């Protein structure tokens, strides 16, 4: 079975722009979470969705938003990009409350 | 609030020697603890988890972890290190408020020397 897939793998944007990152969970997984990993640090929780409902939100500004679709795939949107948004964005899916499985991430660079 | 700490940024070990990567946790109540490994330009791979039960948890690739409630620790171990084990290791604890999200440590870079 395919693992968690994320697209695109790399992205370069300029300050003030908007970005949409996409994630397809492992087949059968209804929970999707998003994390931001800044270089040299551990991942920081952004959002969690379960059955298309937001289940949790980390300490990120309102410029960050997400949604989950009926097929359980998910999008993370970031508006008004700042230099500090440069990071690896990780998506993880899980079956209920079992261990999360991560994709390889989208590396976002802000110029 | 819950958190984990990884006191060592870097651990070096010779190939064939046992390895230990340290993690301590701070949680009100029973912790759900995890270890993940990250290779360059990749996401995180799940190694093992502790939910309840036996304090010695066995995971993928020959790794195991020992849960110690009195010392609030969850150290990752392997009896014989391989060069291919060289990677970044993260300890994590699940949010106890009901969501399934994880709080990660800052990571420990393991280098296995041939």
Give, rounded to a whole angstrom, the gap between the first and last alpha carbons of chain B: 41
Distance CA B90, CA B87 (A): 10
| B100 vs A: CB within 8 A | yes
Instruction: Output the pLDDT for position B99.
Output: 72
Q: Pick from A80, A43, A88: which is nearest to A62 by CA?
A: A80
Show residues of chain B in contact with A56, CB under 8 Å: 95, 97, 99-101
Give yes or no for residue A2 having a pLDDT over 90: no
Q: Which two tokens stand for residue A29?
A: 């997984």
Name the average pLDDT for chain B.
94
Residue whose tokens read 């029973």: B30
Distance CA A72, CA A109 (A): 27
With CA atoms as reference, the chain A residue closest to B42 would be A104
- Provide the shortest C-alpha distance from residue B18 to chain A (in Å): 25
Distance CA A27, CA B87 (A): 28
Give yes or no for residue B95 having a pLDDT over 70: yes
A1 falls in which pLDDT band (50, 70, 90)? low
Residue whose tokens read 């899916």: A93
Q: Do B49 and A99 touch (CB under 8 A)?
A: yes
pLDDT tens digits for range A61-103:
999 999 999 999 999 999 999 999 999 999 999 987 788 999 9
Instruction: Output the pLDDT for position B100.
Output: 78
B98 falls in which pLDDT band (50, 70, 90)? low
Task: Give the residue-averaged pLDDT of B82-87.
Answer: 97
Query: Which residue from A4, A33, A90 is facing B100, i.e. has the nearest CB?
Result: A33
Task: Give the residue-averaged pLDDT of A99-110.
Answer: 95
Give yes or no for residue B28 having a pLDDT over 90: no
Name the average pLDDT for chain A.
94
Instruction: Output the pLDDT for position B22.
Output: 98
Of A20-24, A40-44, B50-54, the poorest mean pLDDT is in: B50-54
B42 falls in which pLDDT band (50, 70, 90)? confident
């Amino acid at each position: 079975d395919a693992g968690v897939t994320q697209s695109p793998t790399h992205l370069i944007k300029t300050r003030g722009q908007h970005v949409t990152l996409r994630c397809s969970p492992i087949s059968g997984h209804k929970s999707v979470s998003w994390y931001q990993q800044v270089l040299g640090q551990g991942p920081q929780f952004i959002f969690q969705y379960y059955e298309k409902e937001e289940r949790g939100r980390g300490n990120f500004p309102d410029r960050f938003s997400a949604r989950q679709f009926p097929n359980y795939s998910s999008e993370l949107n970031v508006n008004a990009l700042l230099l500090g948004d440069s990071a690896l964005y990780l998506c993880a899916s899980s079956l209920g409350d079992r261990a999360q499985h991560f994709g390889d991430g989208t590396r976002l660079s802000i110029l | 609030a819950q958190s984990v700490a990884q006191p060592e940024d870097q651990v070096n070990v010779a190939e064939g020697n046992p390895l230990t990567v340290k993690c301590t946790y701070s949680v009100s109540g029973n912790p759900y603890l995890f270890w993940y490994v990250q290779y360059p330009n990749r996401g995180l791979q799940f190694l093992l988890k502790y939910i309840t039960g036996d304090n010695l948890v066995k995971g993928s690739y020959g790794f195991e972890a020992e849960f110690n409630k009195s010392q609030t620790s969850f150290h990752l171990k392997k009896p014989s290190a391989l060069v291919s084990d060289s990677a970044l290791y993260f300890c994590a604890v699940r949010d106890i408020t009901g969501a399934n999200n994880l709080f990660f440590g800052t990571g420990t870079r393991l280098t296995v020397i041939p």
